[in-house]
Amino acid sequence: MSEIKVNSIKGVGASAAAITVNNTDGTCTANITNNLSNRNLIINGAMNVAQRGTSSTSGGYQTVDRFGAYYTGGAMTQSQGSLTSGSPFEKGFTKYLRLTNTTANTGTDGSRSIIHKLEAQDIANSGWNYKSSSSYLTFSFWVRSSVSQQFYIVVKTLDGTQQMYPFSIGTLSADTWTKVTHSIAGNSNLTFDSNNENGLQFYIYAFLGTDNTSSGVSLNGWSAWASSGRIPDMTNTWAATTDATFDMTGVQLEVGSVATDFEHRSFGQELALCQRYYYKYPTGAIEMGLNRSGGRRTANAHFPITMRENPTVTITTQFDDGGATIVPNTINTNGCAFLQSTSNASNDAPSVNVFDANAEL
């Protein structure tokens, strides 16, 4: 029987091997760029789902699901935008998250950022040997800025002694979509508990003031979290420009040292993943029946997906039938009950029309 013995297989002119062979046990590692399912640890990386709305001048989770947008000083608008052309569009992306610097601010305590948080158990059970410096996560995304300058990202762990990993995404050309890829090695100081709490988060900075930066920050390596020195001192050209924009889409985090093609999921799949953290009940009356002693009416609502933890439930629209306010009562990860706060003898049935359930990290 004939056999071919090789260490690796590399394309002509390629800088890296397509297949690397382990000479001890005969196994191989392949750099594959076609879609493989269930490898993207980021939820809603294509920015398609926006249950709360498509534009807001408030900070936090307000538009695109699972991506919080935050600012300090001045004013900022976050919004979901649409793509009809350009490099990301050609790769299948039709939505993006935008930060608009509506009121310029370059204060020392100023900031403009996008934050994405992941459950600790999703990292602990991902297959990444996070204690090993030879095992990697790879972070990739498309980014565009209306202003040319250098931008930074900080990766932060939350369990054990908090650690941080800052890196530069490079200097972007104005109004040009750029694909960014960065591999992050493990480290013996990292800890991820196998639970549903916040374990890893990405801070993507359009601007960060000098209260939280330092000229002594080292890039591309892990160190203890230092809030006052997260990234190197940052150029403030973007922050000083009124109505400057910063756009992001196609965000992927995967185990391995190579960025594969983005894992496109259907809208239904992505929505279900998002609803583990936030669920907005669409407009439609949940009629309340007279099931309690004392004349107080009650109703039950079931969430479409088991939520990460018992959520905070907020009723935004209700028909209270004569002033007997409806309040959330029993709440768990699968649903909640609504109850009139006082009895009401009216024959008309009160109803809950719109509510949301929030279990964000």
Residue 122: name the closest of 226, 4, 201 by CA: 201
- Mean pLDDT calculated for residue range 46-50: 98
Instruction: Give the distance from CA 58 to its chain's centroid.
Output: 17
Residue 105: name the closest of 248, 237, 245, 247 by CA: 237
CA distances from 115 to 47, 99, 106 (A): 13, 12, 20
Instruction: Classify strands 351-358 and 286-287 as parallel, antiparallel or unpaired.
Output: antiparallel
Q: Which pLDDT score is estimated for 332? A: 98
> Could you tell me the residue ranges of all domains in the chain?
1-31, 55-274, 278-358
Low-confidence winner among 72-86, 98-112, 294-308, 334-348 (lowest mean pLDDT): 334-348
Q: What 3-state DSSP class applies to 90?
A: helix
Burial 155-181 (b: 16+ CB within 10 A, else e): bbbbbeeebbbbbbbeebeeeebbebe
Q: What 3-state DSSP class applies to 178?
A: strand
Q: Which pLDDT score is estimated for 147? A: 98
Is residue 33 very low, low, confident or very high in pLDDT (cuts 50, 70, 90)? Answer: low
Residue 124: name the closest of 221, 223, 182, 199 by CA: 199
Report the distance separating Cα 344 and Cα 318, nearest Å. 15
Report the distance separating Cα 129 and Cα 188, nearest Å. 10
Is residue 32 very low, low, confident or very high in pLDDT (cuts 50, 70, 90)? Answer: low
Which residue did the predictor score with more confidence, 94 or 340? Answer: 94
Which residue did the predictor score with more confidence, 296 or 74? Answer: 74
Q: Does domain 55-274 have CATH number 2.60.120.260?
A: yes
Q: Which pLDDT score is estimated for 26? A: 74
Report the distance separating Cα 138 and Cα 150, nearest Å. 20
- Mean pLDDT calculated for residue range 278-294: 77
Task: Give tens-digit pLDDT for 327-361.
Answer: 999 999 999 999 887 765 555 677 888 999 999 99
Phi-psi region of 68 (alpha: psi -120 to 50; beta: other; left: phi over 0): beta
Mean pLDDT (the chain, rounded) = 92
Is residue 185 very low, low, confident or very high in pLDDT (cuts 50, 70, 90)? Answer: very high
Is residue 35 very low, low, confident or very high in pLDDT (cuts 50, 70, 90)? Answer: low
Q: Which pLDDT score is estimated for 27? A: 72
Low-confidence winner among 36-50, 179-193, 344-358 (lowest mean pLDDT): 344-358
Q: Is the pLDDT of residue 312 over 70?
A: yes
- Mean pLDDT calculated for residue range 43-50: 98
Q: Is the pLDDT of residue 107 over 80?
A: yes
What number does CATH give the domain 278-358? 2.60.40
Q: Which pLDDT score is estimated for 37? A: 80
CA distances from 98 to 68, 157, 181, 249, 282 (A): 11, 25, 20, 9, 25
Q: Confirm if 355 and 306 have CB atoms less than 8 A apart.
A: no
* Residue type present at position 55: S
pTM of the model: 0.91
Residue 114: name the closest of 170, 53, 56, 59 by CA: 59
Task: Give tens-digit pLDDT for 259-269.
Answer: 999 999 999 99
Task: Give tens-digit pLDDT for 120-147.
Answer: 999 999 999 999 999 999 999 999 999 9
